[in-house]
Structure 1
Amino acid sequence: MRGRARNAVAVATMVVLATGNAAVAFADDLSAKEIYERAAPATVHIIGTMGSGTGFIYDADKGLILTNAHVVLDEPSLRVGVEDRAPVAARVLGIDPCEDLAVLTFSNPQPDLKALKFADSKKVSFADNVTALGYPESIEAQGSQKPVFTTGAVQNPDVKDTTPDPDLPRYPETIQHSATINPGNSGGPLLNGKAEVVGINTLSLTGGGVQGQYYAISSDHVRPLLDQLAAGDVKNDPGWQLMSVQNPALADQFVEEDASKVAATQKQFKDKDGMVVIYSRTNSPAYKAKLYPGDVITGLKDTPVTSYADVCDVLQSAAPGETLPVTGEYAPLTANGKDAKAGEAWTTDLVMDKGK
């Protein structure tokens, strides 16, 4: 993951039961060195202007790269480094922030690419060996480096509907494991003992006594989505960045002069929830709906929204081009600029793009 509101690996408090079993080595598993030698040439460093992350090549002929959406969302320019090669320009083909997935390609064809194969994540079992590859933020973004690998065991092979944080989407199918991932590892592969991809590393959950729990989006959930993303689909992206009104880091998203307004806004919402607009992309559906930084959204399509998962539930059920009523409440962050009083309700229409 990356900087701003989308830190490189999500940090949250969550209690998930783990097996505590030690990793089991199977006779047909490759050694850690063999897994690394097979996977490293296809694991890429994704470098943006606002942060960096990881991805991996899954189609060498077409130069297709899979990563998390939050790694590349709204990056004005991207470069991709493959092992010791100098980073080269890349572009997003398709993206879905609610699935937290994106497909990239190189701006110019690259020779001698290697790709990773997907495996069936439903075949992953408790205590299986797994390996995570990625480029943690400690690696210099400008240098050509090899990916870092960590090993661990599967703690739960089938975690349903993971909702780790109000500012993140719902993850329908994930694998919980103990192979350490750090900021910058998001979008990298989680590999089985045959160096095949069983998941896309996305979350690191810590805090409240929770340590060493890492989550990867299951490969079986990802694979049916790849063709449309590679074909250029942009889904569930109104062109905004949202953050929970009660997030302690909310003030960091605004200029220092607005600190008192942020505090007043959070006090106004101390007994209720909402999502604050951090920015809206120029000419996006959110921008055309006049949703601006500081606006607090409380409802979408007549549905209360208290988290980004709630927002995604509505977006994913909407038809292309559908008009979605948005409701909110004026808060100190924006009330004065709109000649309104804090606490007053407002409404607007969000007209979703029709897609490709």
Structure 2
Amino acid sequence: MAVATMVVLATGNAAVAFADDLSAKEIYERAAPATVRIIGKTGAGTGFIYDADKGLIVTNAHVVLDEPSLRVGVQDRAPVAARLLGIDPCEDLAVLTFSNPQPDLKALKFGDSKKVSFADNVTALGYPESIEAQGAQKPVFTTGAVQNPDVKDSTPDPDLPRYPETIQHSATLNPGNSGGPLLNGKAEVVGINTLSGVGDVQGQYYAISSDHVRPLLEQLAAGDVKNDPGWLLTTVQNPQLADYFAEEDAAKVAATQKEFKDQDGMVVTYSRTNSPAYKAKLGPGDVITGLKGTAVTSYADVCDVLQSAAPGETLPVDGMYSPLNANGKDMKAGEAWTTDLVVDKGK
């Protein structure tokens, strides 16, 4: 074992190394075989194996949500089919497994995130988009220091859920790193990397604390689906709103944002066939303004209502038609509508 020199923290973001910390190379060698690349039809991200015997992988929900097919690549191995076991978009967590058993898997051990302190050394592993897509490859790593070990109720962007417990750190993350491990000096997972410079957190990086994650994994691995009505939502004034619709709808997107310049809400960009949202006749272009009598102006607002609802509860939904789905006859842009959303009972 390499012995690190003790560093005395003075000012700034310098990291503190402890005498029993592993070197960055040792941390990487331990963690890389268990850090996986998750490949969907519309995007890719990172995850890690936390139970080698059962082949269980944890990642962010936003990496796998509504992906019609998934593959997982383990270090130098070719990607193989995987299946989603359980998901909770409001916790931004999901558990998946290999469609067929895989030999000689390695797993990462969870550490105690409450023991993480300011300026501790941390290492992030993942598969950022900058590396060559597809095929056999290895994860990359970055190192940094803990800037805040216990960030409570973070809501960094209106398109993201509320994160109850996160670690803010300076180990650089990029798109594609989501779902990967944040490791302490013993190569233990103290967080799941989730946020990389979005909204008001430009240049800052956040991981969901391991102590928050661990109690949720058993139910997700058992097949629980929570807080997932089967929709994709984004804020009506999202600058990237046009990316969710066909190119020929660009004028309608611009008209929608102009129509709702003084009205906050969440735009439905997709509803999964036979999901609660689909059964409530919610579809692309619908602008949701209220849920269970509560105004919703962000995804965190939506999650606050969903997380407090009982399984099977009926939630009244208020909204308005937009230029994206108004037909000028029975559906006019700006016209109000109501419907009922029945909360999924889970698995």
Normalised to the residue count of structure 1, the TM-score between the two structures is 0.92
Judged with a 3 Å threshold, the aligned counterparts in structure 2 of structure 1 residues 50 and 19 are, in CA distance, closer, same or farther, namely farther
Q: Is the 8 A contact 2:151 2:165 kept in 1?
A: yes
Q: Deviations over 1:169-206 (max 9, x none)?
A: 111100000001111000000000000000000001xx
Which is further off, 234-243 or 208-217?
208-217
Q: Is the 8 A contact 2:156 2:200 kept in 1?
A: no
Displacement after TM superposition at 1:268 (Å) = 1.8
For residue 242 of structure 2, the aligned residue among 235, 242, 251 is 251
Q: Is the 8 A contact 1:10 1:202 kept in 2?
A: no
Judged with a 3 Å threshold, the aligned counterparts in structure 2 of structure 1 residues 196 and 300 are, in CA distance, closer, same or farther, namely same
SS at match of 1:337: coil
Displacement after TM superposition at 1:21 (Å) = 2.8
Judged with a 3 Å threshold, the aligned counterparts in structure 2 of structure 1 residues 138 and 208 are, in CA distance, closer, same or farther, namely closer
SS at match of 1:210: coil
Q: Is the 8 A contact 2:60 2:194 kept in 1?
A: yes
Q: Deviations over 1:242-261 (max 9, x none)?
A: 01000111122222332222
Q: Deviations over 1:212-236 (max 9, x none)?
A: 3100000000001000000000000
Judged with a 3 Å threshold, the aligned counterparts in structure 2 of structure 1 residues 13 and 182 are, in CA distance, closer, same or farther, namely farther
Which is further off, 250-259 or 329-338?
329-338
Q: Is the 8 A contact 2:3 2:22 kept in 1?
A: no
Q: Is the 8 A contact 2:5 2:17 kept in 1?
A: no
Judged with a 3 Å threshold, the aligned counterparts in structure 2 of structure 1 residues 286 and 54 are, in CA distance, closer, same or farther, namely same
**Which 5+ residue runs of structure 2 have no aligned equivalent?**
none
Distance 1:189 1:353 in 2: 30
Displacement after TM superposition at 1:209 (Å) = 9.3
Q: Deviations over 1:31-59 (max 9, x none)?
A: 01110111011001111111111000000
Judged with a 3 Å threshold, the aligned counterparts in structure 2 of structure 1 residues 170 and 63 are, in CA distance, closer, same or farther, namely same
Judged with a 3 Å threshold, the aligned counterparts in structure 2 of structure 1 residues 12 and 180 are, in CA distance, closer, same or farther, namely farther
SS at match of 1:212: coil
Normalised to the residue count of structure 2, the TM-score between the two structures is 0.94
Distance 1:20 1:112 in 2: 43
Aligned to 1:237: 228
Q: Is the 8 A contact 1:45 1:80 kept in 2?
A: yes
Q: Is the 8 A contact 2:82 2:96 kept in 1?
A: yes
Displacement after TM superposition at 1:338 (Å) = 6.2
Alignment of 1:35-74 (within 5 A): 35-74=27-66
Q: Is the 8 A contact 1:55 1:189 kept in 2?
A: yes
Hey, which bits of structure 1, 4+ residues long, moved more than 3 A?
9-19, 207-211
SS at match of 1:287: helix
Displacement after TM superposition at 1:143 (Å) = 1.2
Aligned to 2:25: 33
Displacement after TM superposition at 1:18 (Å) = 14
Q: Is the 8 A contact 1:13 1:208 kept in 2?
A: no
Aligned to 2:282: 291
Judged with a 3 Å threshold, the aligned counterparts in structure 2 of structure 1 residues 160 and 29 are, in CA distance, closer, same or farther, namely same
Q: Is the 8 A contact 2:153 2:162 kept in 1?
A: yes
Distance 1:13 1:310 in 2: 46
Distance 1:32 1:216 in 2: 19
Which is further off, 170-179 or 337-346?
337-346
Judged with a 3 Å threshold, the aligned counterparts in structure 2 of structure 1 residues 184 and 15 are, in CA distance, closer, same or farther, namely farther
Q: Deviations over 1:71-94 (max 9, x none)?
A: 111111111111111111110000
Aligned to 1:5: none
Displacement after TM superposition at 1:262 (Å) = 1.6
1:177 aligns with 2:169: yes
Distance 1:211 1:164 in 2: 10
Judged with a 3 Å threshold, the aligned counterparts in structure 2 of structure 1 residues 212 and 248 are, in CA distance, closer, same or farther, namely closer
Q: Deviations over 1:241-290 (max 9, x none)?
A: 00100011112222233222222221121122000000100110000100
Q: Is the 8 A contact 1:202 1:216 kept in 2?
A: yes
Aligned to 1:271: 262
Q: Is the 8 A contact 2:157 2:200 kept in 1?
A: no
Give percent identity, aligned residues only: 90
Displacement after TM superposition at 1:342 (Å) = 2.2
Judged with a 3 Å threshold, the aligned counterparts in structure 2 of structure 1 residues 309 and 122 are, in CA distance, closer, same or farther, namely same
Larger relative contact order, structure 1 or 2 (CA cutoff 8 Å, min sep 6): 1
Judged with a 3 Å threshold, the aligned counterparts in structure 2 of structure 1 residues 244 and 17 are, in CA distance, closer, same or farther, namely farther
Distance 1:177 1:16 in 2: 18
Q: Deviations over 1:292-342 (max 9, x none)?
A: 100000000111000000000000011111111100012222221662222
Distance 2:310 2:4 in 1: 32
Distance 1:167 1:15 in 2: 39
Judged with a 3 Å threshold, the aligned counterparts in structure 2 of structure 1 residues 209 and 319 are, in CA distance, closer, same or farther, namely closer
Judged with a 3 Å threshold, the aligned counterparts in structure 2 of structure 1 residues 320 and 44 are, in CA distance, closer, same or farther, namely same
Distance 1:146 1:127 in 2: 28
Judged with a 3 Å threshold, the aligned counterparts in structure 2 of structure 1 residues 163 and 112 are, in CA distance, closer, same or farther, namely same
Q: Deviations over 1:10-37 (max 9, x none)?
A: 9999999998330011101000111011
CA RMSD of aligned residues (A): 5.3
SS at match of 2:328: helix
Counting matched residue pairs gives 346
